[in-house]
Chain A
Amino acid sequence: MSALDPVAVLGLSDGPAQIMRLGLPALPTPATGHTSFESVLSAGLDRVNDKVAHADELVRQFALDDSVPVHQVTIALEEARLSIELATQVRTRLVETYRELMNMQL
């Protein structure tokens, strides 16, 4: 298989390792231990609130001065909508689970 030798010279012969190297860096692992469920929830709500405030600010800027590219405004609005949708989904699951636990027959 001398025809394949140039490939080996390039160091590409160990396939999986090279493919792994192209992947994105691993996500930072969240600090475990001290984070309570409540703090995770309130941090998430803070982020949603930040996004809504950012969208609000962009709409205000756009109304005053339309040099702000319009796509930035619409994307900010859409991101705010999606994060609110995520928050309501979390809330719905939470309430559902709570109800289920409360209705448990002992």
Chain B
Amino acid sequence: MDAIAISRTGLDVEWRRMEIIALNLANMNSGPAADGTSFQPLTLLSGPAGSFGAVLDGQQPPAGVRAYGVQPSGAGMRRVYEPGHPQADANGYVSYPNVSHASEMALMVKTARAYEANLVALAAAQQIYSSALQIGKQA
């Protein structure tokens, strides 16, 4: 796998992470669905594609990064007292997902910066490739 392909895997993973952050922020004030289940804040798990040990031993070329999957962040629910709300339970509480606004925003900035870093690495790899094509060019 060359540098361009590795940078592409990085871009893919950051893109997915951004989607999950957008999903969490969009569902920040979602009440329970019709079947009673509530939205759970999610986190994206990512890690090196291929075994780190195998790459380090030189048995396998580096293969970039990949998303392992999405799992609930375990933040639980935020219960708000709204007796007049149609979705309120017997005690007058409505359950909302406990999305942490601040940490989602911080993660979003981090994700955007990581995406940019991958773009810069990609541009550098492409520029190196282009300049290698100039070797021995006539005039």
The interface of chain A, by Cβ under 8 A from chain B, is: 21-25, 69, 71-72, 75, 78-79, 82, 85-86, 89, 93, 96
Q: Is B59 located at the chain interface by the 8 A CB criterion?
A: yes
- Contact present for B130 and A25 (CB under 8 Å): no
**Interface pairs (23), CB distance under 8 Å:** A21-B58, A22-B56, A22-B58, A23-B58, A24-B62, A25-B58, A25-B59, A25-B60, A69-B11, A69-B12, A69-B15, A71-B11, A71-B12, A72-B12, A75-B4, A75-B122, A78-B126, A79-B4, A82-B133, A85-B130, A86-B133, A89-B133, A89-B137
Q: Is B61 located at the chain interface by the 8 A CB criterion?
A: yes
Binding site of A, secondary structure by majority: helix, strand, loop or mixed? Answer: helix
Partner of B129, one of A22, A69, A75, A82: A82
With a CB–CB cut-off of 8 A, which chain A residues contact B57? 21
With a CB–CB cut-off of 8 A, which chain B residues contact A86? 133
With a CB–CB cut-off of 8 A, which chain A residues contact B129? 82
Number of interface residues of B (CB under 8 A): 21
Q: Which residue of B lies closest to A86 (CB)?
A: B133
Given A75-B122, A79-B4, verify A25-B61 contact (CB < 8 Å). Answer: yes
Inter-chain CA distance A82–B133, complex, in Å, is: 9
Q: Is B103 located at the chain interface by the 8 A CB criterion?
A: no
With a CB–CB cut-off of 8 A, which chain B residues contact A82? 126, 129-130, 133
Closest 7 CB pairs of A and B: A71-B11, A69-B15, A75-B8, A89-B133, A25-B58, A24-B61, A82-B129
